[in-house]
Structure 1
Amino acid sequence: MSRLTTPELTDIDAKTQGTLDTIAKQFGFAPGMFTTLAGNPAVLEIVMSLQGSIAKLLDAKTRHTIALATSHSNNCAYCSALHGYISTNLAGMSTEEIELARTGGSTDPKRAAVARFSQQVIETRGQVGDEDIAAVREAGYTDPEIQAIVTVVVVTLLTNYLNNVNDTAVDIPGAGA
């Protein structure tokens, strides 16, 4: 059971309800995480703004690989399930690719490197070693792309922490809890 209060839909202002409606259209359902965040419209707006901004970074499969690896490293069941759903239904990733990303791998060597690097960023709290930077560069990532990778990790970390603090109930279709 979630630990933070989720507002009643009748208590949500029109602007925030519009944001929730947009989210529901995008995903095909209304993830409970966003309804809980609607209890503080400024937080919901920040999360949505950050999500919109990182959509401009890297390609979708790489972003989702990072999100899956990060969510798994943070033991965030909610984000792992949500990113699995998004990766399957919106990014066209296979079940195998999703499971590999969660554990720091991929069938694509470049995405495997980004998954491992993302997990190193989490495990070292950003204090990665020179060998970690070298490995991600050797996979073909430029320094601006490494900055983008870290940004996606940190934005994912934010939602991981929000959901871990809340112990958000997994309400993702097909997640099987």
Structure 2
Amino acid sequence: MTDFELHTIESALETSKPQLEHSQQVYGFVPNLHAEMAESPALLEAYRTIGNIFDTKTQLNATERQIIAMTNNRLNGCEYCMAAHTSIMQSLKVPADVIESLRNGTPIADPKLEALRVFAEKVNLQRGWLEDGDIEALLSAGYGQETVLEVIVGTAFKVLSNYTNHVAETPLDDAFAKNEWHANAATS
């Protein structure tokens, strides 16, 4: 396997340094994912930009965004992102039963949130080739057509991080270690 450098602010390309400095300010450290992405300023900027759009320009609340992210993380087998997003959800006070369902790939008790989880799963597994019934199930749960398209934004966001972690074999940060997750532990 090719070794990818875990860049520091000092070792990163000049065009990646501002992005890593921002990560340091936001998180108090440079997450290893960002340190890996710093090898490609375009990737790091794309990841940060789409993440910001997903967080600030969609009508989804924090729990709904995390449902989309975690569903993709689990289906893509991204151990790094499962641990990191579990920590993020805990800091956002997402209910523990929702977090556990997302980590295990089991139904969420709240029917509306479960409809979103199932829809995000179908978008991932079917690569966007949805049937009318898939969309109707989401709409019947109380979401709108905007949500259908915003799930695609969240899916694209996670492809960037999940695939980077697979290619670079990103080591888990100490900050996320308590929420370590293994792909073979998922129930589906």
TM-score normalised by the chain length of structure 1: 0.88
Q: Which stretches in structure 1 are left out of the alignment for 5+ residues?
A: none
Q: CA deviation at 1:156?
A: 1.2
Q: Residues of 2 paired with 1:80 and 1:49: CA distance?
A: 21
Greater mean alpha carbon deviation, residues 128-137 or residues 9-18: 9-18
Q: CA deviation at 1:98?
A: 1.0
Question: In structure 1, what is the equivalent of residue 179 of structure 2?
Answer: 175
Q: Is 1:124 aligned to 2:88, yes or no? A: no
Q: 2:67 aligns with which of 42, 65, 68?
A: 65
Question: In structure 2, what is the equivalent of residue 95 of structure 1?
Answer: 96
RMSD: 2.1
1:164/1:101 CA distance change after superposition, 3 Å: same
Letter in 2 for 1:115: R
Task: Classify the secondary structure of the residue corresponding to 1:134.
Answer: helix
Q: Residues of 2 paired with 1:2 and 1:35: CA distance?
A: 16
Q: Determine if contact 2:9/2:21 at 8 Å carries over to the other structure.
A: no
Letter in 1 for 2:93: G
Q: 1:110 aligns with which of 109, 112, 135?
A: 112
Q: CA deviation at 1:125?
A: 1.1
TM-score normalised by the chain length of structure 2: 0.84
Aligned residues: 176
Q: Which stretches in structure 2 are left out of the alignment for 5+ residues?
A: 182-188
Q: CA deviation at 1:54?
A: 0.9
Q: Residues of 2 paired with 1:154 and 1:32: CA distance?
A: 20
Letter in 2 for 1:24: Q
Identity between Structure 1 and Structure 2 (%): 27
